[in-house]
């Protein structure tokens, strides 16, 4: 008949068919709903609008069509290419006639409707951070359409003409609107409004309202009526009272259907079905129950309610989480998921999968006697039988095992009496399918009290599809309630799946809380001492201030006037270094033979102290009396012999002091200063602890011999358990100064700013504007330092700050009195473009991979006050020695690629960063803003406001220290090992906090058993790795591998791995893989996204990696970086930093590998390892042309040299020297400054004469010792002979090796036919060196042709080999044989 209908409920194919038929003219009349006018472009000759009222669920009544809809519909009349005019017919009520006439004939202005919802929009902007004061809100209103209309039509918006004249920009009106909206938000607790300053600050409720798009009136109502123990009935009642549904009413025609529905829904409704709230409640339950509705208006009401339901339930869940109400949180989360899946909690959890037939789900629900947890144990046939459909068994089994489920286990350690550290391990126990679970599953980790009422900790856990089979670790701290409850419960609940919940009870029955801490030392109100009290004028000149601060004043007498041990704990930035100097000055005055060692855990801190002291103390001491150790034993012992003040790291002092009995220089120490003792709890802690314990032992040994006293000074941040640390260091109660973190010479104001975003990247983005605001509010144009998690973030933050400043203020951060041109001049010389750009705006950033000139230039500008804002990655906080007025810590976590999670900054780093906010003598107070993730805030407050409790971690690192003490004979039996432990801090802490160390009691029996077990385990491990030998009597003796590990300071696991992996046929490639698997590389950082970068690098390497290589493994990273070094590949800044570290560690590990090979007597692998050492130093493959090691030589230059057709071919470095100048210049084509580098290298390249002599060559008999005397002599030009400085000899020229290196030579005697290494010696060569190699003659008499190798450890192409023929005669008698070994090392 040519008629058709069209509406949104039709199938899409039907709708498209109707549209096409109408467009082609096959259909003459189309009856459709009002929505067609907007969604489909179908012109017609005539449009008839039959009735102008439409049901509006948001208002709950029939409402007039909006004028825009009517105009849109009428706009469809008239077909452009067919008609001259169109017809529009409106059928409406008589009362509306005038309105529609004026609508179609007159143009009505469009007015703004914003005032109605202004508070909600204002709240959203406050949460976003764009508005922070009322004046900013007024400014924001000027961008709205509302403002435009108020200017044009003030009367309509309630502004009198008089007011409009007096205030042409309507600022007062905007002020009124903003103020009123802010007051309404404050009444609803969505913001904090300070009327005096006009500051607006969002609250957690405000953030929830903005995130879930909920009106302020609803939020106020929820926060008024929510109760911690609400049940389903109360929750649904509260839901139905939401402001979103205020307009929904109950019409006459619906009452019957609603009362029928009320009897069918599962949760009873208290009100009568005639109440609007009852209608909302019933419709929501009908939606979840999937009930069919009749009335059209009811269907649209239900759709409207359902759209808001999930959102509101999520908001209620967030509110209950914020309030710490456990049962309500679980209930609201369950309801949010019930609405999402339309499944009740009592129904089968499998209904959440799309492909479960209704009949099967029903059958499962009837078997309610089988718990859901038991389903995982059933096999497919059992499940098929259960539902009576055997075919469904396999499908159901698959679904049950795809249902998200986690296995939990936890390790708990009490840190203080009120803080518990929980290490939660989560193992996914389900099949992760991207089609069902997406790429990520979200879980809530909730720690509840024993009653299950309050939430003590909440954090989110993201399970990504890439880690669906790995074990994950989450570490957090929980407060311990007082009195101690019997247990806590850890619940891990899925965010999107009903019934996916794991519970782990933590029992406190056997928990022993740590002992109470002693109160801190009180800071006395003393008159500050002037610096003249030092007496000596030379000392007074060392300081550029006039009087000491209160902490220095209080400790002065003890440090400067007595020789007693002292422990000083005070916040970072309190001037503790000056206190250490008091003790040094006393030593310099009173003890002419005295030597002081200053030990710090961080290399950067050691370098700063050395630079400072060498300029200041260097002015009153002879040169060479203030030294910094290098980490190499022989040169270091020489330095210590001459020095008065020695600065080093804990690791360097450990290497030197291990053999203290043989080393006079170590015994001569009279003052030992250990700085940054709060690192005892960090990863350098065990080494620090061993070093201090050893020095304490030496001091008691000295006292027993009535030798000179060894004084010990400890410096640290404020410690909670300072008394034990003091007792361990031999400090009396008078020498213990443990000040509270609150007493700083310059008070520090700390502001915390918490962010809710659970995703790390979005959290950092959200911090962008608040960081700018913090700098603007707190810095007062004084210098500020901002610490960010990574190098990339430093650049982004600097650019963001520059952009904010220029867009908001239209200015830069440059000081008023700074010349912008001079800054621009400095900036133009910087290497990085981004750095140039931001520096001209008075901001800058630093990072570890910067070239030195840029680094110095930026720090120079900052110190001169030209740059006011400096952005730094957190990993360089120890490297920079600067102070500021304001420190902003932007995020307190950084990504750890090894564990694939974000880990908190070490607390020592946080304290150090906070300590930078103190400019002595400039500011009266410093400021620090810490921006962190909300769950971390309370824990951080506790750690930063209260003193730090320190625990020993040496129990996990005893192996290497035991091994070194076994080698030096300090430990020769089990009892010695137990005695050794009694000298450590661990021994003092075991009885104070037993549970931390897995100890179940504090009695002497418990302690001695625990220590004996620990010793047995460690010695057992060392014996298993062939580092030491145990007898049945408990005596311990070192073995060869143990000696190598101790000598080269290599971890015992590494030596075990090397010994187990090497064979007689291992080549360079195999040794390279063994090297990269050393435990030393296991803590190489893996940053975010680095796996991808390493994969790309690995693809372009000349050699393939082993198939087992995993790119998130630090050892694979070490291997890739070594390959890149040999192939001279360009790397990113971060990878370059890591590569430096790998190279420095490798050069120490390779000699250890050589020694392990030589003790097996294999020749070829030993030579391969020596070649690897040359490759590491010069950054070349052993197959590359050896000319490539000359600086600035490229492949092109080498090709020209190879093609050169002179008298002699150019094959070695010496051939470059012998060329005529013009020939050389033509071949190299390098500018003069590069030619100078080439000359330096070629002159340094070693030219060694080797002479050898077999002792008693005519008298060698089988199985007797043979000695070969070898002399190495460096050839030096006679002209240069007088000028050459002996100390400069043997320095290696290697532009690609990151630190200074001295030449080393291996002299090897071996038999190439049998691949046997007979003897090996490693020597350092200045000008001339003699060595005697001894080995046993072969057992069989005859003529042998041995080979003598002279191998460099630093240069390719200068190795030498000589043939050593020997004749072995028959031994006189076999009975005389006393030797069983075939080689001597």
- Give residue 441's pLDDT: 93
CB-CB contact of 350 with 497 (8 Å): no
Provide mean pLDDT across the span 1279-1308: 77
- Give residue 505's pLDDT: 95
Query: Could you write out the three-class secondary structure of 625-668?
Result: CEEECCCCHHHHHHHHHHCCEEEEEHHHHHHHHCCCCCCHHHHC
Would the pLDDT of 1349 be above 90?
A: yes
* Count of beta carbons in the 10 Å neighbourhood of residue 663: 16
Q: How far apart are CA 469 and CA 430, in angstroms?
A: 9
Write b or e for each residue in 1166-1192: b if 16 or more Cβ atoms lie within 10 A of its Cβ, otherwise e.
bbbbbbbbbbbbbbbbeebbbbbbbbe
Could you tell me what percent of the chain has a pLDDT over 90? 39
What is the separation of C-alpha 613 from the centre of its chain, rounded to a whole number of angstroms?
33
**By C-alpha distance, which of 1039, 1044, 1065, 1068 is closest to 1054?**
1044
Would the pLDDT of 731 be above 80?
A: yes
- Give residue 537's pLDDT: 84
- Give residue 728's pLDDT: 92
CB-CB contact of 159 with 136 (8 Å): no
User: What's the half-sphere exposure (Cβ side, CA atoms, 13 Å) at 76?
Assistant: 24
- Give residue 812's pLDDT: 82
Which helix (DSSP H) or strand (DSSP E) does residue 985 occupy?
Answer: helix 985-990
What is the separation of C-alpha 520 from the centre of its chain, rounded to a whole number of angstroms?
32
- Give residue 1247's pLDDT: 87
Would the pLDDT of 1231 be above 50?
A: yes
CB-CB contact of 953 with 685 (8 Å): yes
Q: What average pLDDT does the structure give for the chain?
A: 88
Would the pLDDT of 952 be above 50?
A: yes
Q: Hey, what are 358's tokens? A: 């209704």
Q: How far apart are CA 136 and CA 114, in angstroms?
A: 18
- Give residue 10's pLDDT: 72
> DSSP of 51-78, one letter per residue?
-SEEEETTTTEEEEPPHHHHHHHHTTBS
- Give residue 180's pLDDT: 95
Would the pLDDT of 461 be above 70?
A: yes
**By C-alpha distance, which of 976, 978, 995, 974 is closest to 987?**
978
- Give residue 687's pLDDT: 93
Q: How far apart are CA 34 and CA 72, in angstroms?
A: 10
Provide mean pLDDT across the span 726-731: 92
Contacts of 1161 (CB under 8 A, 6+ apart): 1316, 1317, 1318, 1382, 1383
Which helix (DSSP H) or strand (DSSP E) does residue 1028 occupy?
Answer: strand 1028-1030
Phi–psi pair at 837, nearest 5 degrees: -65, -50
**By C-alpha distance, which of 623, 609, 613 is closest to 542?**
613
Provide mean pLDDT across the span 675-697: 90
**By C-alpha distance, which of 269, 178, 197 is closest to 232?**
269
- Give residue 1055's pLDDT: 93
Phi-psi category of 142—alpha, beta or left, where left has phi over 0 and alpha has psi -120 to 50? alpha
Would the pLDDT of 362 be above 70?
A: yes
Q: How far apart are CA 1233 and CA 1045, in angstroms?
A: 44
- pLDDT band for position 334 (cuts 50, 70, 90): very high
Each residue's pLDDT tens digit, 1021-1077: 999 999 999 988 889 999 999 999 998 889 999 999 999 999 988 899 999 999 999
Each residue's pLDDT tens digit, 56-67: 766 767 788 877
- pLDDT band for position 299 (cuts 50, 70, 90): confident
* Count of beta carbons in the 10 Å neighbourhood of residue 1221: 8
What are the helix and strand counts (H, E) for the chain? 51, 39
Which helix (DSSP H) or strand (DSSP E) does residue 695 occupy?
Answer: helix 685-704
**Pair type for strands 3-6 and 1316-1323:** unpaired
Q: Hey, what are 14's tokens? A: 């039907």
Report H helices in 67-191.
Answer: 67-74, 97-105, 118-128, 134-141, 145-152, 161-166, 171-187
Q: Hey, what are 57's tokens? A: 């669920």
Q: Is the dihedral of CA 967, 970, 975, 977 positive or negative?
A: negative
Q: How far apart are CA 430 and CA 399, in angstroms?
A: 10
**Pair type for strands 926-933 and 419-428:** unpaired
The strand pairing partners of 464, in sequence order, are 440
Provide mean pLDDT across the span 119-139: 91
Would the pLDDT of 650 be above 80?
A: yes
**By C-alpha distance, which of 1191, 1188, 1192, 1189 is closest to 1202?**
1188
- pLDDT band for position 177 (cuts 50, 70, 90): very high
Provide mean pLDDT across the span 314-321: 94
- pLDDT band for position 756 (cuts 50, 70, 90): confident
Distances (CA, A) of 1130 to 850, 1072, 1136: 15, 20, 9
The strand pairing partners of 377, in sequence order, are none
- pLDDT band for position 800 (cuts 50, 70, 90): very high
> DSSP of 765-802, one letter per residue?
HHHHHHHHHHHHHHSTTS-EEEEESSHHHHHHHHHHHH
Each residue's pLDDT tens digit, 521-539: 999 988 999 988 888 888 8
- Poorest-pLDDT segment among 240-254, 305-319, 492-506: 240-254
Q: How far apart are CA 474 and CA 490, in angstroms?
A: 12
**By C-alpha distance, which of 1278, 1280, 1305, 1312 is closest to 1290?**
1305
Phi–psi pair at 419, nearest 5 degrees: -130, 135
- Give residue 570's pLDDT: 92
Q: How far apart are CA 682 and CA 179, in angstroms?
A: 51
Q: How far apart are CA 387 and CA 385, in angstroms?
A: 6
Would the pLDDT of 938 be above 60?
A: yes
More confident residue, 896 or 339: 339
Q: Hey, what are 998's tokens? A: 């897995």
Q: Hey, what are 1371's tokens? A: 């031994």
* Residue 483, preceding peptide bond in cis (omega within 30° of 0): yes
- Please provide the size of the chain in residues: 1385
- pLDDT band for position 1372 (cuts 50, 70, 90): low
Burial class of 639 by CB neighbour count within 10 A (0 to 12, 13 to 18, 19+)? middle
Report the SS3 class of residue 188: coil
- Give residue 1383's pLDDT: 40
Report the SS3 class of residue 806: helix
Q: How far apart are CA 463 and CA 476, in angstroms?
A: 17
Q: How far apart are CA 419 and CA 412, in angstroms?
A: 11
Each residue's pLDDT tens digit, 1307-1341: 999 998 889 999 999 988 878 889 999 988 888 88
Provide mean pLDDT across the span 580-587: 92
Each residue's pLDDT tens digit, 5-44: 887 667 778 888 988 898 888 888 988 887 666 766 788 8
- Give residue 901's pLDDT: 76
Distances (CA, A) of 545 to 560, 920, 922: 18, 9, 11
What is the separation of C-alpha 617 from the centre of its chain, rounded to a whole number of angstroms?
38
**By C-alpha distance, which of 119, 140, 130 is closest to 206?**
119
**By C-alpha distance, which of 1011, 1087, 1088, 1081 is closest to 1053?**
1081
Distances (CA, A) of 119 to 183, 195, 753: 9, 16, 24
- What are the contacts of 1357-1362 at 24+ separation with CB within 8 A? 1357/1186, 1357/1189, 1357/1212, 1357/1213, 1358/1213, 1358/1245, 1358/1246, 1358/1247, 1358/1248, 1359/1170, 1360/1248, 1360/1250, 1362/1250, 1362/1252
């Amino acid at each position: 008949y040519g008629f058709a209908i069209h509406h949104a409920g039709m199938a899409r194919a039907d709708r498209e068919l109707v549209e096409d038929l109408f467009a082609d003219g096959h259909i003459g009349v189309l009856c459709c709903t009002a929505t067609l006018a907007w969604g489909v472009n179908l012109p017609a000759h005539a449009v008839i609008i039959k009735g102008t009222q439409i049901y509006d669920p948001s208002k709950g009544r029939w409402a007039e069509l909006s004028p825009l809809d009517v105009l849109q519909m009428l706009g469809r009349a008239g077909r452009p290419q067919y008609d001259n005019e169109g017809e529009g017919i409106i059928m409406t009520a008589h009362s509306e006639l005038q309105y529609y006439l004026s609508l179609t004939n007159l143009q009505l202005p469009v007015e703004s409707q914003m005032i109605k919802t202004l508070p909600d929009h204002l709240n959203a902007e406050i949460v976003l951070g764009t508005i922070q004061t009322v004046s900013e809100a007024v400014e924001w209103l000027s961008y709205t359409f509302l403002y435009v209309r108020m200017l044009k039509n003030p009367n309509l918006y309630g502004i009198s003409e008089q007011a409009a004249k007096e205030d042409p920009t309507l600022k007062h009106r905007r002020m009124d609107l903003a103020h009123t909206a802010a007051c309404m938000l404050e009444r609803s607790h969505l913001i904090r409004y300070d009327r005096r300053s006009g500051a607006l600050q969002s609250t957690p409720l405000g953030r929830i309202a903005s995130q879930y798009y909920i009106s302020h009136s609803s939020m106020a109502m929820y926060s008024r009526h929510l109760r911690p123990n609400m049940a389903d009935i109360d929750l649904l009642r509260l839901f139905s009272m939401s402001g979103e549904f205020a307009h929904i009413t109950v019409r006459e025609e619906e009452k019957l259907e609603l009362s029928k529905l009320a009897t069918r829904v599962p949760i009873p409704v208290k009100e009568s079905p005639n109440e609007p709230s009852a209608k909302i409640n019933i419709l929501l339950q009908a939606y979840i129950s999937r009930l069919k509705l009749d009335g059209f208006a009811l269907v649209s009401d239900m759709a409207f309610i359902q759209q808001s339901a999930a959102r509101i339930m999520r908001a209620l869940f967030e509110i209950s989480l914020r309030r710490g109400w456990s049962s309500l949180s679980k209930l609201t989360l369950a309801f949010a998921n019930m609405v999402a899946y339309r499944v009740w909690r009592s129904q089968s959890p499998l209904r959440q999968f799309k492909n479960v037939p209704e009949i099967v789900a029903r059958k499962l629900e009837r078997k309610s006697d089988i718990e859901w947890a038991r389903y995982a144990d059933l096999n497919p046939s059992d499940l098929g039988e259960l539902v009576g459909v055997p075919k469904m068994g396999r499908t159901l089994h698959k679904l049950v095992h795809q249902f998200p489920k986690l296995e939990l286990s936890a390790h708990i350690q009490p840190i203080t009496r009120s803080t518990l550290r929980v290490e939660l391990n989560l193992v996914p126990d389900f099949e992760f399918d991207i089609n069902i679970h997406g790429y990520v599953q979200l879980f809530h980790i909730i720690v509840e009290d024993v009653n299950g009422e309050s939430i003590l900790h909440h954090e989110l856990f993201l399970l990504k599809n890439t880690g669906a089979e790995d074990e994950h670790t989450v570490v957090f701290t929980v407060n311990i309630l007082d009195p101690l409850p019997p247990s806590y419960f850890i619940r891990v609940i899925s965010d999107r799946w009903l019934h996916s919940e794991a519970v782990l009870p933590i029992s406190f029955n056997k928990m022993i809380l740590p002992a109470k801490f002693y109160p801190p030392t009180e800071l006395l109100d003393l008159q500050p001492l002037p610096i003249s009290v030092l007496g000596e004028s030379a000392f007074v000149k060392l300081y550029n201030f006039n009087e000491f601060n209160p902490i220095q004043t209080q400790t002065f007498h003890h440090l400067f006037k007595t020789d007693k041990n002292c422990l000083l704990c005070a916040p970072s930035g309190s001037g503790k270094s000056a206190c250490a100097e008091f003790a040094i000055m006393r030593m310099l005055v009173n003890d002419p033979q005295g030597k002081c060692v200053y030990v710090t855990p961080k290399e950067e801190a050691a370098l700063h102290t050395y630079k400072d002291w060498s300029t200041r103390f260097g002015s009153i001491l002879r040169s060479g009396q203030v030294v910094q150790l290098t980490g190499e034993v022989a040169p270091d012992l020489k330095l210590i012999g001459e020095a008065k003040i020695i600065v080093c790291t804990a690791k360097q002092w450990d290497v030197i002091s291990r053999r203290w009995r043989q080393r006079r220089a170590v015994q001569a120490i009279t003052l030992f200063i250990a700085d940054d003792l709060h690192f005892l709890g960090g990863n350098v802690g065990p080494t620090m602890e061993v070093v201090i314990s050893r020095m304490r032992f030496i001091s008691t040994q000295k006292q027993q011999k009535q030798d000179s006293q060894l004084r010990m000074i400890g410096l640290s941040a404020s410690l909670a358990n300072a008394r034990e640390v003091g007792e361990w260091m031999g400090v009396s109660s008078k020498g213990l100064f443990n000040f509270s973190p609150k007493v700083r010479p310059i008070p520090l104001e700390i502001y915390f700013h918490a962010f809710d975003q659970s995703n790390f990247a979005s959290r950092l983005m959200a911090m962008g504007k608040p960081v700018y605001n913090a700098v603007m509010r707190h810095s007062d144009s004084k210098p500020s330092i901002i610490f960010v998690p990574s190098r990339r973030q430093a650049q982004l933050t600097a650019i963001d700050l520059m952009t904010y400043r220029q867009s908001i203020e239209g200015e830069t951060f440059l000081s008023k009195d700074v010349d912008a041109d001079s800054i621009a001049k400095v900036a133009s010389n910087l290497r990085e473009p981004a750095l140039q750009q931001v520096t001209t705006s008075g901001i800058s950033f630093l990072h570890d991979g910067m070239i030195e000139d840029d680094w110095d230039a930026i720090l120079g500008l900052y110190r001169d006050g030209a740059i006011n804002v400096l952005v730094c990655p957190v990993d360089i906080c120890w490297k920079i020695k600067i102070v500021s007025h304001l420190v902003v810590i932007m995020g307190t976590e950084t990504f750890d690629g090894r564990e694939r999670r974000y880990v908190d900054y070490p607390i020592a780093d946080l304290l150090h960063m906070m300590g930078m906010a103190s400019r002595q003598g400039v500011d009266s107070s410093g400021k620090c803003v810490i921006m962190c993730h909300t769950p971390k805030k309370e824990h951080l407050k506790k750690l930063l406001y209260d003193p730090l409790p320190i625990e020993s971690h040496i129990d996990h690192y005893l192996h290497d220290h035991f091994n070194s003490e076994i080698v030096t004979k300090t430990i020769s039996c089990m009892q010695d090992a137990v005695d050794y432990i009694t000298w450590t801090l661990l021994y003092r802490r075991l009885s104070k906090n037993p549970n931390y160390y897995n100890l179940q009691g504090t009695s002497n029996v418990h302690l001695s058993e625990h220590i004996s077990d620990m010793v047995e385990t460690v010695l057992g491990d060392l014996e298993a790795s062939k580092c030491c030998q145990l007898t049945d009597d408990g005596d311990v003796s070192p073995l060869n591998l143990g000696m190598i590990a101790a000598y080269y300071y290599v971890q015992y696991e590494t030596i075990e791995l090397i010994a187990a992996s090497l064979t007689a046929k291992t080549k360079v490639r195999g040794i390279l893989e063994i090297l990269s698997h050393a435990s030393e590389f296991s803590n190489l950082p893996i940053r975010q996204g680095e796996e991808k970068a390493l994969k790309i690098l690995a693809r372009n390497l000349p050699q393939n990696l082993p198939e087992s290589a995993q790119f998130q493994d630090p050892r694979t990273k070490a291997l890739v970086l070594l390959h890149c070094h040999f192939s001279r590949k360009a790397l990113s800044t971060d990878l370059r930093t890591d590569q430096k570290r790998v190279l420095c560690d490798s050069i120490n590990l390779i000699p250890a590998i050589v020694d392990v090979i030589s003790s097996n007597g294999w020749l070829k692998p030993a030579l391969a390892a020596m070649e690897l050492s040359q490759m590491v130093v010069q950054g070349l493959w052993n197959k590359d042309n050896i000319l490539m090691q000359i600086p600035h030589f490229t492949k092109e230059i080498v090709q020209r040299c190879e093609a050169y057709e002179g008298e002699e071919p150019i094959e070695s470095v010496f051939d470059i020297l012998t060329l005529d100048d013009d020939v050389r210049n033509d071949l190299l084509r390098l500018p003069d400054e590069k030619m100078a580098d080439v000359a330096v290298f070629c002159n340094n390249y070693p030219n060694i004469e080797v002479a050898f002599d077999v002792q008693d060559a005519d008298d060698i008999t089988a199985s007797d010792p043979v000695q070969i005397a070898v002399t190495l002599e460096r050839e030096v030009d006679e002209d240069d002979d007088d000028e050459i400085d002996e100390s400069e000899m043997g320095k290696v020229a290697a532009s690609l090796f990151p630190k200074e290196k001295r030449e080393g030579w291996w002299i090897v005697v071996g038999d190439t036919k049998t691949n046997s290494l007979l003897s090996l010696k490693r020597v350092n060569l200045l000008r001339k060196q003699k060595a005697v190699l001894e080995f046993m003659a072969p057992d069989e008499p005859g003529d042998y042709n041995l080979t003598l190798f002279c191998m460099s450890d630093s240069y390719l192409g200068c190795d030498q080999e000589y043939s050593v023929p020997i004749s072995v005669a028959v031994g006189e008698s076999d009975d005389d044989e006393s030797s069983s070994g075939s080689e001597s090392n």
